Chains A and B, each alone.
Chain A
Amino acid sequence: MKQKKLVNYSKYGYIFAIPFILAFAIFTLYPVCYTLLIGFTNHEGAVPPKLAFLKDPLENFKYLFQKRPSGQMSYFLLGLITTARIWVINFIPQLGLALLLSAWFTDNRVKVKGQGFYKVVFYLPNMITAATCAILFRALFSYPIGPVNDILKTLHLVKEPFFFLNKKTPTRAIVEFIQCWQWYGSTMITLIAAVIGINPEIFEAAEIDGANRIQKFWKITIPCIRPVMLFTLVTSLIGGLSMFDIPMLLAQGGPDNATQTVAIYIYNQSFRKPYKYNRSAAASIILFIIIVTCSAILFYLMRDKEAAKLEKMKKAEMKRNRLQARGA
């Protein structure tokens, strides 16, 4: 066009971003602010009274941390500990398994056959609705007759059927297992992509220097995929701290609150009598603060080390790796 150079296109950047910004403002920003507001108010009961700030605005927050009349830890704190525990115990084997498998599948000396098949199979549980998985495992571990008890009896490992979902530690272990079982495939595939992305010359140089498999793994693979591991860690943490479907449908947060995560606590507070919306809003806010703090700490810790260790690598490549890893 005649005036080609005079046309300023930058306004289209704003125009095209409008739908996103509007949807974000209406469906995320507004609810977040509203949650924040509710946390300080008297918004509770089946028919909540007119919204008003409490005399002591922090009352809901204080309640969350107050000891129960029996002198035990508050349910909210207990929920936090339970959530953290379930997440940690699921994440360590998940990452360990994913690392091991990704090292095996990318080993250039031992080419594992059927990799495509294994990847598809390991990722399968992740595709199935978490709700379905939870109820399936409930059925598998059912008492007195269920597939797991059946197998244990046939193998003569137990004499009497074992009531898994009636005991605290086994139920928690099942939740941890499902979580790990659903996610290690995904983590593995992400890590494999990251390992393949490492410059093969680095490995070749190490081989020439006589490095063995284990040395290569610890000295090259791990440092190089650190950004990807950080990504996995942060996303898993965010998902793990808001875990709901599996503990809820497997055991309704029981037995004896053994699997009551913070998300279940938040849900129960607002959707069971006496409908404490304000209290659960306060709990949401604290959960959010915890998530942001943990993510920030993780980013800080991992980034610092990585910067020190990978100084010599080109900055551009680092950036590309990291972005690729986080990828949408």
Chain B
Amino acid sequence: MATNTTALASSKTKDSVVFKTAIYIVCSILAILAIAPFLVMLINSTRSTAQIMAHAVSFIPGKELWNNVKLLRTKKTFNALLGMKNSFIISASVTVLTVYFSSLTAYAIYAYDWKLKKAFFSLVMGIMMLPGTVTMIGFYRACYQFHLVNNRLMLILPSIAAPMTVFFMRQYLEGALSMEIVESARIDGAGEFRTFNTIVLPIMKPAMATQAIFAFVGSWNNYFLPMILLNKKESYTMPIMVALLNGDIYKTEFGCIYLGLSMTALPLIIVYLLLSKYIISGVALGSVKG
């Protein structure tokens, strides 16, 4: 950005005050729009259904949180802890596989000259255009035939091939890794695989951290594929649990619905607030898109 900001700004003070006010008004409205739904959700989760029926919006939290918790537990379909456990197992595995193998693949593209390298890279770019919806039927029917429905591995293993992450990792390598380091490791007699693990991976740590966040959140928020593949209650992930709140037994229990929603959103909100710096800069690099 320009350096002569102050000098220019003072010359057009009046104009810029009006302009600035407009900006702040619009931004404030947008901020309220972004926060309000979640605020209503959190507050209503502490109020009883009767209170919500009387006044659906309140700025004062109620005292019925514990009652809602008990009520939610008696209904027995929605189980947040189980959902979190299942989601965590899948998302953590997905994160490890995505980050490690994408780094390896990106390194293969960056560090070596091989004949099909360009073709391979185009392939990686091409796969990005394939949404899950398109492959879903074949994927599901194949899983069905090989008796792999309900198998978590079917949700975890595909993450070894994560084109978006590979692309990002390659970008990062281009800026961060000079081949001289690799050459010197070779001279010291280190094998290629060992070089990757002990020298290249530590250099990629910042990129890996960013990508790990997105891989984890992406997997945690995924509803479509787990919903199709998992049909046993014990293995339901968090988004599937949330979808159960749509069911008839909760129809009149607003307190429960809001509490259930809060239980799924709150962990994400907390993680987001803690890591927002990294997430925002990650998005700025164009690293996510659902």
Query: Per-residue CB proximity of A199-223 to B under 8 Å, as 1/0?
Result: 0100110010000000000000000
- Among B60-68, B69-77, B159-167, which stretch is in contact with chain A? B159-167
Chain A binding site: helix, strand, loop or mixed by DSSP? helix
- A1-36 residues with Cβ-Cβ distance < 8 A to B are 1, 4, 7, 9-17, 19-24, 26-28, 30-36
Query: What CA separation (Å) do A121 and B221 show in the bound complex?
Result: 19
CB pair A196–B142 under 8 Å, yes or no, is no
Closest residue of A by beta carbon distance from B100: A19
B189 at the binding interface (Cβ < 8 Å): yes
Which residues of chain A are within 8 angstroms of B269 by Cβ–Cβ distance?
124, 127-128
Per-residue CB contact flags for chain B residues 10-37 toward chain A (1 = under 8 Å, else 0) read 0010001001100110110011011101
CB-CB under 8 A from B109, the residues of chain A are 13, 17
B113: min CB distance to chain A, Å = 5
Q: Write out, one digit per residue, whether chain A residues 293-323 have a CB within 8 A of any chain B CB (1) or not (0).
A: 0010000000000000000000000000001
A255 at the B interface (CB under 8 A): no
Question: Does any Cβ of B come within 8 Å of A241's Cβ?
Answer: yes
B280 & A123 in contact (Cβ 8 Å cutoff): yes
B86 at the interface (CB under 8 A from A): no
Bound Cα distance A138, B251 (Å): 11
Q: Are B56 and A147 in contact (CB under 8 A)?
A: yes
- Cβ proximity bits B21-61 to A, threshold 8 Å, 1 near / 0 not: 00110110011011101101100100000001101110000
Cβ A189 vs Cβ B284 within 8 A:
yes
Instruction: Evaluate whether A328 and B187 lie within 8 angstroms (CB atoms) in the complex, with A120-B280, A284-B134 already known.
Output: no
Q: How far is the CB of A66 from chain B (nearest CB, A)?
A: 20
Least CB separation from B114: chain A residue: A13
Count CB-based A-B contacts (< 8 Å).
330
**Contacts of A239 on B, CB cut-off 8 Å?**
131, 289-290
Flag whether B122 is at the interface (Cβ < 8 A): no
Enumerate chain A residues within 8 angstroms of B53, measured Cβ to Cβ: 145
- What class of interface size applies to chain B in its complex with A? 35 or more
> Is there contact, CB below 8 Å, between B56 and A145?
yes
Known: A145-B52, A239-B289, A328-B287. Is A31-B223 also a contact (CB below 8 A)?
no
Given contacts A1-B186, A112-B23, A284-B133, contact A135 B37 (CB under 8 A): no
- Please name the residue on chain A nearest to B16 by beta carbon: A110
Which B residues are CB-close (under 8 A) to A136? 37-38, 41, 261, 265
Q: Is the Cβ of B23 less than 8 Å from the Cβ of A135?
A: no
- Could you tell me the distance between the alpha carbons of A116 and B279 in the complex, rounded to whole angstroms? 12
Instruction: Tell yes or no: A73 within 8 A of B by CB.
Output: no
Measured CB to CB, the nearest residue on chain A to B214 is: A328
Contact B138 A326 (CB under 8 A): no
A190-B239 in contact given A27-B157, A129-B264, A235-B289 (Cβ < 8 Å): no
Indicate whether B149 reaches chain A with its CB closer than 8 angstroms: no
Min distance, Cβ B109 to any Cβ of chain A, angstroms = 8
B89 within 8 Å of A (CB atoms) = no
A249 interface hit (Cβ, 8 Å): yes
Known contacts A31-B139, A190-B284, A16 near B108 by CB under 8 Å = yes
Known: A10-B114, A13-B108, A200-B2. A122 touches B134 (CB 8 A): no
CB distance from B13 to the nearest CB of A (A): 11
Q: Are B132 and A242 touching (Cβ within 8 A)?
A: yes
> Which residues of chain A are within 8 angstroms of B135 by Cβ–Cβ distance?
28, 31-32, 35, 284
A260 at the interface (CB under 8 A from B): no
Which A residues are CB-close (under 8 A) to B20?
110, 112
Please report the C-alpha to C-alpha distance between residue A112 and residue B44 in the assembled complex, in whole angstroms.
Answer: 34
- Which residues 264-279 of B sit at the A interface, judged by CB distance below 8 A? 264-265, 268-269, 272-273, 276, 279
- Known contacts: A13-B113, A287-B133. The answer to whether A138 contacts B1 by CB under 8 A is no
Instruction: Tell me the minimal C-beta distance from A323 to chain B in angstroms.
Output: 6
Judging by beta carbons under 8 Å apart, are A130 and B283 in contact? no
Q: Which chain B positions have C-beta within 8 A of A245? A: 223-224, 239
Enumerate B121-172 residues with CB–CB distance to A below 8 Å: 123-124, 127, 129-142, 157-161, 164-171
Given A31-B135, A139-B254, A328-B166, does the pair A204, B2 have CB atoms closer than 8 Å? Answer: yes
Residues of chain B within 8 A (CB-CB) of A110 are 9, 16, 19-20, 23
Distance in Å from the Cβ of A4 to the closest Cβ of chain B? 7
Cα A105 to Cα B33 with chains together (Å)? 19
Q: Is A140 an interface residue (CB 8 A)?
A: yes
Q: Which of B52, B141, B159, B254 has the most CB of A within 10 A?
A: B141
Q: How far is the CB of B45 from chain A (nearest CB, A)?
A: 11
Q: In the bound complex, do residue A23 and residue B134 qualify as a contact, i.e. CB atoms below 8 Å apart?
A: no
- Residue of B at shortest CB range from A151? B57
Q: A120-B276, A129-B264 are in contact. List 18 more A-B contacts (CB 8 A).
A: A14-B114, A21-B161, A23-B158, A31-B137, A31-B139, A35-B135, A37-B138, A101-B30, A121-B30, A124-B34, A128-B268, A130-B221, A138-B246, A139-B261, A193-B285, A235-B289, A244-B224, A281-B138
Nearest first, the 7 closest Cβ-Cβ pairs linking A and B are A328-B168, A13-B112, A35-B138, A34-B138, A16-B108, A327-B286, A13-B114
> Could you list 26 A-B pairs, sorted by A, with CB under 8 Å?
A14-B114, A15-B108, A20-B104, A20-B160, A23-B158, A31-B135, A109-B8, A109-B9, A110-B19, A114-B27, A119-B280, A124-B272, A130-B239, A139-B254, A147-B56, A193-B286, A207-B2, A207-B8, A244-B223, A249-B242, A270-B140, A291-B131, A292-B129, A324-B171, A326-B167, A328-B287
